């Protein structure tokens, strides 16, 4: 995969996933307040997967940025 699309994808994930997690946390608190423990547990698991994917995307973003710098390529180069 060329570096430019990989950097775009990883950057989008690094920005969007914390927003998604915050939204899921709010939904979880609403479900707990409504007494839906099973729904809150499901949202907890989805939130955990979201945080794991976010951490992986941050690591990937750092590696892709380092590869770009080490190869002396600009992100627009193919």
Q: Tell me, what's the pLDDT at 76? A: 64
> pLDDT per residue over 42-68, tens digit each?
999 999 999 999 999 999 999 988 888
pTM of the model: 0.79
Give the start-to-end residue ranges of the domains of the chain.
Answer: 3-69
Confidence band for 1, pLDDT divided at 50, 70 and 90:
low
In Å, how far are 47, 55, 68 from 4, measured between CA atoms? Answer: 28, 20, 9
Torsions phi, psi for 75 (to 5 deg): -60, -25
């Amino acid at each position: 995969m060329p570096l430019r699309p990989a950097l775009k994808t990883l950057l989008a994930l690094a920005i969007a996933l914390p927003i998604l997690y915050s939204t899921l946390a709010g939904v979880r608190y609403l479900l707990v307040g409504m007494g839906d423990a099973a729904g809150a547990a499901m949202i907890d698991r989805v939130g955990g997967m979201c945080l794991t994917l976010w951490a992986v995307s941050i690591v990937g973003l750092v590696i892709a940025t380092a590869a770009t710098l080490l190869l002396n390529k600009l992100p627009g180069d193919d």
